[in-house]
Amino acid sequence: MKRAILFISLCFLGLTTFSQTIISGKVTQINGEPMPGTNAFLSGTYDGGSANKNGEFKFKTTKTGEYILKVEFVGYESFSRKVELKGDSIRVNVQLKEAFNQLNAVTITAGTFEAGDKRQAVTITPLDMMTTAGAAGDVYGALQSLPGTTTVGESGRLFVKGGESEESQTYIDGSLVTVPYQSSAPNMGARGRFNPFMFKGTVFSTGGYSAEYGQALSSVLLLNTNDMPAEDQIDLSFLSIGLEFAGTKKWNNGAVTGTLSYHNLAPYMNLAPQNYNWSRAPESTSAAISFRQKTGKTGLFKFYSSFDNDGFTVQQIHPGSGVIPVDYKLANGNQFMNVSWNGNLGEKWTMNASGSFTNNQDDIHFEQTKGAKNIQGIFLKNVFSYPISERFSLKFGGEFVRKAYSQNAQIQNEIHDNNFANQSFSGFTEAQIYASSKFVTRVGGRVEYSDYLQRFNFSPRFSAAYKITGKSQFSLAYGWFYQNPLDDYLLYTNQLKPERADHYTFSFQSSANSRTIRAELFYKEYKDLVKLNGNQFYLPSSYNNSGTGYAKGFDLFWRDKKTIQNGDYWISYSYLDTKRNYRNFPVEAVPTFASKHNLAVVYKHWFGGMRSYAGVNLKYSSPRVYNNPNSTVFNGEKMLPYRSLDVSWSFLYRQNIIIYGAVTNIAGTKNEFGRSYGITPDESGIYPGTAIQPSSNRFFVLACFITLTRKGNANQMEKIE
């Protein structure tokens, strides 16, 4: 009996051994790299195994029949295959594709510096963009520490990659800002019109931007205002150049902030030597109100309105006045309103509606001339977004722009009154397509119509990005960009075409361990630029679109927050090669606003023992050109190189009190911006001229910031770091 039982057991054991199936294989990525740790198993069973360091797996099973073999690894698409288990060996080689996750997918960075959106590749924060040493609290001044920009001291505005300041546009919460700069005298730097601390996020695109934006040949600056505040707050700012007050009241789903400010540069000018005589120092008064209200579960409504009045009187030499300075008196009034709403429409649709209104009035007096210039702008836009799938999203919308411009000049007994109004209608669409989490393309187009010029334009746009590793990527962008001619030309003719620039941009960016490096090559071709073919500027026949130009160059950006403890620095360098034949240029030449080499080195350090934050900014621009009418070579003279060493220091006296000081050009380097010449020669046939200088070689400010809240632990450090 025992022998029978043993015989039967051995038979069953033999049958079991005979019915075992051996499943093996190798798991690799698409590029052939092995994937150790991958799990391979039969669905619905406990039979399976893990891949070794070479990506090889092997396991046995006694199951028979049809089963599903699964191979899985976190972050990759799972693999499934039906297998027939019948006691033999099965070999399966598997290639796993990386699973798509838009949060970790590549983003397009060609030509763009972004801040405030954590999904994007952030190279510089909103705080950095707006409060770098030497920026003097000006958004546009801070941007000049980034590659692609040129410091033009006699303007103060943005000049990007060989483009003029008028070729850059500013948007707040999606709406166009028709007059983004404060008014200024000729050859004197202007400042941005808005308080930089009202913004939470910044996107600065130096080329190749979305089809959503038009009427900008060179760049767009997108500013997003703050959302809901954390608590009620009062901010008091005592500055050596004025006073500021801001108060915020918060409720469950909304908040309102009111701001009043007064600035007067007379105390500063009495202490710092000035290069010009000021009969009346620059003085300004402004007020603003900001309202925010949540609507429903996802909607947010914002309203902002500001009122500014400022003016000054300075002695300057003007063309035709010889070399004797005359009083130049300017009074400016500006009203601006901005409204926006964004939120979800159903489960997938999102909408962003925005609008703005601008009314800007300049009154100018010099010698026997009185002038008035008025600009009114209305802007309306609606944008819809819809994710058709996880990998494919569509954005489209339209906008309406109305701009009215008038200019009145009284020269002795003559009165010249000119004006025009233009209405533009635009539509755009754009698709973003992810082939994988490593490769994305964005394809779009924009159509514009101007009723004043009676012309249609179509602008194709394309951009793409490919992720090389988890931290590095390449991006490229291409597109056509149109912009209407200058307002001063449209006053006299509507027979012109919009000017055009074609952008080609290729960039590399890598970010790891709190370090970022970015390199970018670009080329821009200008077409249909406006040319003046005569001295009679008031005749329509004096204008045509025969102008051309190009700009090409290389930008480099390096930022390091890791190497120096409590330290943070970045270095930006730009190389620019550009020429134009436009306006009144007799030949193709380098324009006066272009500098071949531009360098900025910014360093910030926190001194914990002294509760202080220090900042240093070194800027250099190689000599620019200017035209000397006494020379036979057009734009053949060179200015001095621009050099400035700027410093700032913040001291946390108490948790809610900060003492702040800043000095620009602390070394007192002499900077000149060419020479200004009269329009008629003197008795010896020489055109008289004088040096164009900054209003002062050095600017300084001292301030005390006090914050009052219920908890008492809030401060305004974010304003000055």
Question: Could you tell me the two tokens for 218?
Answer: 């060179």
pLDDT, average across residues 462-488: 91
pLDDT tier for residue 529 given thresholds of 50, 70 and 90: very high
Most confident of 45-49, 512-516, 594-598: 594-598
Q: Which of 5-14, 343-352, 583-592 has the lowest mean pLDDT?
A: 5-14
Strands 567-581 and 543-560 turn out to be: antiparallel
Q: What is the pLDDT of residues 273-303, one digit of tens each?
A: 898 899 999 999 999 999 999 998 889 999 9
Q: What is the pLDDT of residues 295-317, one digit of tens each?
A: 988 899 999 999 999 999 998 87
3-state class of 271 per DSSP?
Answer: helix
The per-residue pLDDT for 721 is 44
Write down the residue that tokens 């001095």 correspond to.
Answer: 640
The per-residue pLDDT for 121 is 38
Q: What is the pLDDT of residues 639-681, one digit of tens each?
A: 999 999 999 998 988 888 889 899 999 998 999 998 888 778 8
Report the C-alpha gap between 227 and 225 in whole angstroms.
Answer: 7
Which residue(s) pair with 581 in the sheet?
A: 548
- Per CATH, the number for 2-96 is 2.60.40.10
pLDDT tier for residue 467 given thresholds of 50, 70 and 90: confident
Sign of CA dihedral 146, 149, 150, 152: negative
Q: Which of 68-72, 128-132, 436-440, 460-464 has the lowest mean pLDDT?
A: 128-132
The per-residue pLDDT for 14 is 44
Question: Could you tell me the two tokens for 368?
Answer: 């026997």
The per-residue pLDDT for 512 is 86
Question: Could you tell me the two tokens for 2?
Answer: 């025992």
Where along the chain do the CATH 2.40.170.20 domains lie?
A: 112-720
pLDDT exceeds cutoff 80 at 318: no
Question: Could you tell me the two tokens for 298?
Answer: 């996802």
pLDDT exceeds cutoff 60 at 583: yes
Q: What is the pLDDT of residues 92-119, one digit of tens each?
A: 999 998 776 655 565 666 656 554 333 3
**Chain-wide mean pLDDT for the chain?**
87
pLDDT exceeds cutoff 70 at 719: no
Q: What is the pLDDT of residues 159-209, one digit of tens each?
A: 999 999 999 999 999 999 999 999 998 888 888 888 777 787 788 888 888
For every residue of 316-379, DSSP letters joined together read: E--TTSTTS-EEEEEEEEEEEEEEEEEEEETTTEEEEEEEEEEEEEEEEEETTEEEEEEEEEEE
The per-residue pLDDT for 714 is 58
What predicted TM-score, i.e. pTM, was given to this entire model?
Answer: 0.85
pLDDT tier for residue 323 given thresholds of 50, 70 and 90: low
Give the burial class of 149: count Cβ atoms within 10 A of its Cβ; 0-12 exposed, 13-18 middle, 19 or more buried.
Answer: buried
pLDDT exceeds cutoff 60 at 393: yes
Q: What is the pLDDT of residues 236-271, one digit of tens each?
A: 999 999 999 999 999 999 999 999 999 999 999 998
Number of Cβ within a 10 Å radius of residue 90: 16
Q: Which of 13-22, 327-336, 396-405 has the lowest mean pLDDT?
A: 13-22
pLDDT, average across residues 676-688: 83
Share of the chain residues as helix, strand and coil, in percent rounded to the nearest 5: 5, 55, 35
Residues 6+ apart with CB under 8 A from 403: 178, 375, 376, 377, 378, 421, 422, 424, 487
Q: What is the pLDDT of residues 75-86, one digit of tens each?
A: 788 899 999 988
In the chain, pLDDT over 90 holds for what percent of residues?
A: 57
pLDDT exceeds cutoff 50 at 120: no
The per-residue pLDDT for 258 is 93
pLDDT exceeds cutoff 90 at 353: yes
Give φ, ψ of 161 to 5 degrees.
Answer: 50, 50
pLDDT exceeds cutoff 90 at 451: yes
pLDDT exceeds cutoff 80 at 372: yes
Q: Which of 55-64, 93-102, 519-528, 712-721 has the lowest mean pLDDT?
A: 712-721
Fold held by 112-720: Maltoporin; Chain A (2.40.170)
The per-residue pLDDT for 118 is 35
Q: Which residue has the higher pLDDT, 129 or 451?
A: 451
pLDDT exceeds cutoff 60 at 2: no
Where along the chain do the CATH 2.60.40.10 domains lie?
A: 2-96
Report the helix count and the strand count for the chain, using DSSP H and E. Answer: 6, 38
pLDDT exceeds cutoff 90 at 396: yes
pLDDT, average across residues 219-235: 88
Q: What is the pLDDT of residues 408-418, one digit of tens each?
A: 988 877 888 89
Write down the residue that tokens 């997938």 correspond to.
Answer: 348
